[in-house]
Structure 1
């Protein structure tokens, strides 16, 4: 009898052995899906599925799974939109290929698929070097090496306005350099106006870049090397050296001129001032002497004898104050006194006619009380009397 035929005491399981206890049927797939749907609906606040009659879903994709999928897609879409812009960079956001906005460094967000972001390094110092031979205004050929240092100033213009901004920079550099060199002489390029040429090239190059709206800014232009063609370079080097020597000699001459002329003018001014001071002093002394003589004449007319005596004493005082003197008293003494006249008159010229006798180192006395020129008021007789007194009382040194 078949396992599902009516009759029999117990239902039979085709997968199991016969006569086992309980229901051994496999789980229903529809029932499992229904239970999963109910749990998801309960999780999101929905109601449990279906009344007691139906054991199967109403057909189609379960609503709970669709909601989970949508949430996962939204979260993934949002997370995919975050991106980081470096501190040295600036970002340009395009929406459907059209410029939308600029973004600053840091964490930013864009709508994936709809928007696109491009970053530009605006802090990088870029450089370009050109080295070419060019024709000058005086139909000479010079070799010029120029370096251009630049940065990105406007990211939007750099990315969107022109197709190849750095290629435009290269062509603009060559054009500006040729224009400036072609308007200058060879001597200007090689030596005389190098700085002016550098500034003119920078100004013209920046004008070209702004006109083409490249978004680039020139930081520095370095005129690295300028030289004559190889075939005549030695001759030009000799000429340049000779001109440098000429400039050096001129500067040395100017320096010497600037040092000598002020010194001579200072000496002339000093001599003039000294002469003026001497003139003032002499005139003042003469005027003083004249005034004193006038006063003296007036006094002399009032008292001739007193004035004459006073003039005599003033003259003696002036003479003896500037001469060396020795005072001796030889009366009443038999002792020998040694006078170091050589030390006393050292460096001085004697004014008395008795200096020869005094330098012989002889003489006697106890104290100085009489001058060797005493009695000079009555002429030569005073000096003769003093000499006789001294010679009569001297003691020879043996």
Structure 2
């Protein structure tokens, strides 16, 4: 008995092959052109590259270095033939040692101390003391080719040679120089040594600055170091005060000595001139005396008497026979001259 064909009413669900057959029918056999257009579009979009103002582009063609390009828009061979690696040559980079900086909510914070951070900062000084040194290395990339191809990991290499340079320099200085007066000299020597090592290993970086962020003694001996530093500061203060007193007293003593010398010289000149004047006056009087002894003697007596009487406040005349003396009335009894009789009596006494 033959089975009759099964008839299903209504629309049938299309299969997967129907979609591709419909797409091929719609394209009308132009699929190769569409694929070529898509390939061209992808090639155009992937051949454009933009190099930022603080960067340079290093061109690798099939993995081989062929040159660099300056900032701006550039085209490259697509589909992996040309690759342009951007290197920030104008950007200042930074490496921290002994600490790490974190930025949270716009505020600068630091990571908690870890064993590797403590190991970086502990150093032995030239006088066999221990110091905790934290520093920053600021650098720029000066040779993109060396930076990318000469060293496998430039950042790790830079950290290693930075630590080696700082330990070498700190080991050549005493702990007091590292902690106080010689910090700038330590940073300068470390920068020069680090730049030499970076050039020797062809890292392609230029060391801009080495900054000692914080230098302290270890925590167990920090109180003793603080006492020593305080003693040094008091010593320096005492020395400075002594120099201040020296600079104040020495000029004053020199001025007083100079004043005394000038006064003595002036006094000596005055006495010499006065002695010469008196000697000259005596010579002149002697010459006059030799010419007229009586007249000269009487003149000298009168001049001497006039000079003496000018210095006396009371004058008493005891000669009764002297005429022409005007009587004077003394109002105060204490300073009144004696009466004429008393004066005559005084004159008559032996």
Shorter-normalised TM range: 0.5 to 0.7
Give 1:277 deviation, angstroms: 2.1
Q: Name the CA distance, whole Å, in 2 between partners of 1:96 and 1:308.
A: 138
**Distance of 1:241 and 1:104 partners within structure 2:** 56
Deviation of the 1:171 alpha carbon: 0.8
- CA shift at 1:128, angstroms? 1.6
Taking a change above 3 Å as real, the CA distance of residues 208 and 313 of structure 1, as seen in their structure-2 partners, is farther
Length, aligned pairs only: 273
Partner of 1:127: 94
Which of 203, 217, 220 lines up with 1:214 in the alignment? 203
Q: Which residue of 1 aligns with 2:139?
A: 150
Cα RMSD between the aligned structures?
4.1
Structure 1 match to 2:66: 100
> How far apart are the structure 2 equivalents of 1:227 and 1:248?
23
The aligned counterpart of 1:223 is: 212
Question: Larger Rg: 1 or 2?
Answer: 1
- Which residue, 58, 83, 87 being the options, matches 1:116? 83
Alpha carbons of 1:142 and 1:293: their partners in 2 closer, same or farther (altered >3 Å)?
same
Match status 1:90 vs 2:51:
no
Q: Secondary structure at the match of 1:256?
A: helix
1:289 aligns with 278
Scaled by the length of structure 2, the TM-score of the pair is 0.63
- Which among 297, 314, 321 is matched to residue 353 of structure 1? 314
Match for residue 197 of structure 1 among 161, 181, 186: 186
Structure 1 window deviating more from structure 2 (139-148 vs 84-93): it is: 84-93
Q: List runs of 5+ in structure 2 lacking aligned partners.
A: 1-29, 99-120, 331-350
Q: What is residue 236 of structure 2 aligned with on the other side?
A: 247
TM-score (norm 1): 0.56
> Residue 250 of structure 2 is aligned with which of 257, 261, 271?
261
Higher RCO (CA 8 Å, separation ≥ 6 residues): 2
Instruction: Give the equivalent residue in structure 1 for 2:150.
Output: 161
Distance 1:96 1:313, change over 3 A: farther
Q: Whole-Å Cα distance in 1 between the matches of residues 321 and 213 of structure 2?
A: 103
Classify the secondary structure of the residue corresponding to 1:122.
coil
- Mapped partners of 1:249, 1:166: distance in 2: 49
CA distance in 2, matches of 1:309, 1:136: 102
Change (3 A) 1:182 1:295: same
CA drift of 1:129 comes to 1.6
**Relative to structure 1, is the Cα distance of residues 353 and 209 closer, same or farther in structure 2, using a 3 angstrom cutoff?**
same
Corresponding residue number in structure 1 for 2:268: 279
Deviations 1:332-376 (A, max 9, x none): xxxxxxxxxxxxxxxxxx84317xxxxxxxxxxxxxxxxxx9xxx
2:25 match: none
What CA distance in whole angstroms lies between the structure 1 residues aligned with 2:64 and 2:182? 48
* Offset of residue 242 of structure 1: 1.9
Query: 3-state SS of the aligned residue for 2:202?
Result: coil
In 1: Cα distance, 2:49 partner to 2:236 partner: 63
**Which whole-Å deviations, capped at 9, do the CAs of 1:125-162 have from their partners, x for residues lacking one?**
22222122123344433222112222222233223322
State the shift of 1:169 in Å.
1.1
